[in-house]
Structure 1
């Protein structure tokens, strides 16, 4: 059997890498793409591999079937491995957030529980119209890990984070857009094409600029930014090869040919 087909049948996430972009596909549609321990291990290995890939400019994460993800596997949550596996899940989301390249989460359907934090760890979230979200640890009698709570507060603000965590109500696409969980939404028939457009757009940008800007913006949001360091990167970039190529391409009305990082 073809190794790629065998991986698909196993239910594990799949990774496809091209010259400038990578695509991760969650692959348990019969279980609404819940995160099982094997998935967490596989995704963590993929993210560590991608972090060291010098040619990449964008990562797209999406899922097969009608749902994006129902969240963390509840059978594991009630097992003896609960602490071990939830710690691994939190670390995986942190790896995704720390990836130096821009990341886009394609929400092809509903997103629940821990999968909402997985999506928030990405830089952009594009959802299909009709998708819904619910985060309800209080209904399960549990609390939540620090980095996940931090992402909620940073991305959505404290009032919305409290609303979603404490009340646990389900929200619709319009609300997801209004509070900033979704960057944008589109009809199901345009979803895959829109992901391709966004991936192509980011692939045309300067890899060095993308990585530097993402790092600076994240540190500013988190309150850990060093203004002198960010300014130094900016002034240094003014005379770099990418700036020369970008300005020349702009004046010549053509696409720039930026170097890989």
Structure 2
């Protein structure tokens, strides 16, 4: 993905039409997450949520790794504010669909940052390592819940309790990665997926994303989902979608 002007900075937000891209920018330290990065990410997520014209968020990084996770040297210095767990929870609950473009290997807490995204596309040769037990660290509950609900109990136990790495083929097999591509093809594929998501009807896309995530967490409210579905059925976008279908043209959704 695109390189930064200067290394070692907090995450950068770039907006291109309906697509927002966040880039982690500490390549010299494998994009480890500092407390200042967590604060910047939280601010960016709130900014994305406040922009109704945005349709998709891409999360990526610079250099050879996606991220080494939270800076180990910062442990024992008090809980950062915001915490990594809080930042990731906000990411998962963003209304817009999210894509993690994994430009390299991913470690520790950054594995959950990627897992909170709706889609994960990585590069061939990358791997994942969850070293919590080798550090004497007990992981936070929402991250373990996400692992179990997304990947299954057996995979979660293998990763958390053994700290054994998973290579690209294994990450595809367990469903952590949706796709793996040569590095030179990553940005093109991610942009193609982003444009496809951005072309969908926002009310339907965002409503179904929320419903699916609620179902995965086990806290879905069927009545709430039905109410939202009924509202979407009355929307101008649904009328436009039907008209476009009959007229054999691309729909022009407004999010209303």
TM-score w.r.t. the length of structure 2 is 0.95
Q: Of 191, 203, 206, which aligns to 1:208?
A: 203
Q: Is the 8 A contact 1:204 1:255 kept in 2?
A: no
Residues 150-189 of structure 1 correspond to what in structure 2 (within 5 A)?
150-189=145-184
Q: Of 71, 89, 92, which aligns to 1:73?
A: 71
List gaps (5 residues or longer) in structure 1.
none
Q: Is the 8 A contact 2:19 2:198 kept in 1?
A: yes
Q: CA RMSD in A?
A: 1.5
Which position in structure 1 is the counterpart of 2:246? 251
Aligned residues: 253
Looking at structure 2, the residues matched to 186 and 253 of structure 1 have their Cα atoms a distance apart, in angstroms, of: 33
Which position in structure 2 is the counterpart of 1:84? 80
1:95-128 per-residue CA deviation (whole Å, 9 max, x = no partner) reads: 1001111000000100000100000110110001
Which position in structure 2 is the counterpart of 1:36? 34
Looking at structure 2, the residues matched to 218 and 9 of structure 1 have their Cα atoms a distance apart, in angstroms, of: 35
Looking at structure 1, the residues matched to 246 and 107 of structure 2 have their Cα atoms a distance apart, in angstroms, of: 47
Report the CA distance shift for 1:10/1:68 in structure 2 as closer, same or farther (over 3 A).
Answer: closer
Looking at structure 2, the residues matched to 189 and 230 of structure 1 have their Cα atoms a distance apart, in angstroms, of: 40
Higher helix share: 1
Q: Of 53, 56, 59, which aligns to 2:54?
A: 56
Looking at structure 2, the residues matched to 234 and 84 of structure 1 have their Cα atoms a distance apart, in angstroms, of: 39
TM-score w.r.t. the length of structure 1 is 0.93
What's the offset of the Cα at 1:9? 4.5
| Helix, strand or coil at the partner of 1:35 | coil
List gaps (5 residues or longer) in structure 2.
none
| Helix, strand or coil at the partner of 1:68 | strand
What's the offset of the Cα at 1:184? 1.3
| Helix, strand or coil at the partner of 2:120 | strand
Looking at structure 2, the residues matched to 84 and 239 of structure 1 have their Cα atoms a distance apart, in angstroms, of: 44
1:143-197 per-residue CA deviation (whole Å, 9 max, x = no partner) reads: 0111111111111111100000000101101110111111111111211100110
Q: Of 139, 143, 148, which aligns to 2:138?
A: 143
What's the offset of the Cα at 1:50? 0.9
Looking at structure 2, the residues matched to 260 and 9 of structure 1 have their Cα atoms a distance apart, in angstroms, of: 37
Q: Is the 8 A contact 2:8 2:27 kept in 1?
A: no
| Helix, strand or coil at the partner of 1:15 | strand
